Amino acid sequence: MANDDFQGKVVQSKKRPLSYILFDSFNYVLFALFTLICAYPFYYVIINSISANDISARGEVLWYPVGVHFRNYVSVTQLNGLLRSAGISVARTVIGTTGTCMGCSFLGFMFTQEKMWHRKFWYRFVVATMYFSAGIIPHYITMKTLGLTNTFWIYVVPAIVQPYNIILIKTYIENTPKELQEAAEVDGAGITKVFFSIMLPLIKPILATIAIFAAVGQWNAFQDTLIYITDSKLNTLQFTLYQYINQAASLARMVEANNGDLSVLGNSAVQQTATSVRMTVAVVVVLPILFVYPIFQRFFVKGIMIGAVKG
């Protein structure tokens, strides 16, 4: 009996107060509502891209698709230059992200080496560029002088050195055991060998974090195309989207004219409209980067938090 009474008291003592339960319930509801607010714009674009075009154009598709069809995606992929622009965006994202990760990680590593010539000066010089900028015109003149304008490398080279990413990597490396580098140097390893063989495997979490930043930035960028590119063959998918949205009404007529399927032209549910073009192209552009984030998400919190607290 005494044992049963003791266990009953233990169970009773573990019961949470009503105020705690109410507070947790409020938090769950609040964050669920916040999640819905964040996710709904993506959901809205997707359901409108697969709904009957005439109903979507009238703004009547709000919570679920109506008259589902996928002809919009077939039609939009036939727009001139879309596939080529997609290839440019994929190439700049892959190459640009790789260049950013390698450049920032090597500089971040070098700024932790006390034997680097004037290390503190160069580190402060790089960080200062976060706060001061010459502006678009001097930047354009610099890129033109370097011969980068109207070339693919205008998307890659300026993004290799990014001060904020360098700070993250430097802080991360400073929290790794120095004995590993010292042991490698005793065995005769140089700076390059230490970086590629010792440091790169250790800093994978922060590299994944940097990769997310860089990939999203490269995929979503369109202003550099607007400023530095005049050759339409180098247009990115985002810039093409920008053009399509501005010309959505005329593009809708162009798509219908180019398809040549006279049997469906009389069906208002599948006839292209400005709204259908906008929604469909937006989905085509957004979905790829949405699939990238979950791959690296498990590294994100670890990479961004390590080094934030000393001790």
Cα–Cα distance for residue pair 83/77, rounded to 1 Å: 7
Residue 68 main-chain phi, psi, to 5 deg: -60, 130
State the pLDDT at residue 248: 57
| Ordered DSSP codes for 91-121 | HHHHHHHHHHHHHHHHHHHHTT-TTSTTHHH
Q: What is the dihedral of CA 133, 138, 139, 143, to 10 degrees?
A: -150
CB 264 within 8 A of CB 84: no
Q: Per-domain residue ranges for the chain?
A: 17-79+247-305, 82-234
Containing 297, the helix (H) or strand (E) segment is: helix 274-305
User: What distance in Å separates the CA atoms of residue 256 and residue 288, rounded to the nearest whole number?
Assistant: 26
* Chain centroid to CA 206: 15
One-letter amino acid at 203 equals I
Cβ pair 303, 176 in contact under 8 A: no
Each residue's pLDDT tens digit in the chain (311 positions)?
555 554 555 445 467 777 788 888 888 889 889 888 888 878 887 777 777 766 666 666 678 777 777 777 777 766 677 778 888 888 898 899 899 989 888 888 888 887 878 888 888 888 888 887 777 888 888 888 888 888 889 888 888 888 888 888 888 888 877 777 778 777 777 788 888 888 888 888 888 888 888 888 888 888 888 888 888 888 888 887 777 767 655 555 555 555 544 333 344 444 556 666 777 777 777 777 777 667 666 665 555 555 444 44
d(C-alpha 108, C-alpha 101), whole Å: 10
Q: Which of 214, 217, 224, 229 is nearest to 136 (CA)?
A: 224
CATH class for the region spanning 82-234? mainly alpha
d(CA 188, CA 186) in angstroms, rounded, equals 5
Q: What is the pTM of this model?
A: 0.70
Amino acid making up residue 219: W
pLDDT at 198: 81
Q: Is 210 exposed, middle or buried (0-12, 13-18, 19+ CB in 10 A)?
A: buried
CA-to-CA distance for 143 and 236, rounded, in angstroms? 18
Please give the backbone phi and psi of residue 15, each rounded to the nearest 5 degrees, phi first: -65, 135
Can you spell out the DSSP letters for 27-66?
HHHHHHHHHHHHHHHHHHHHHHHSS-HHHHHTT--SSS-S
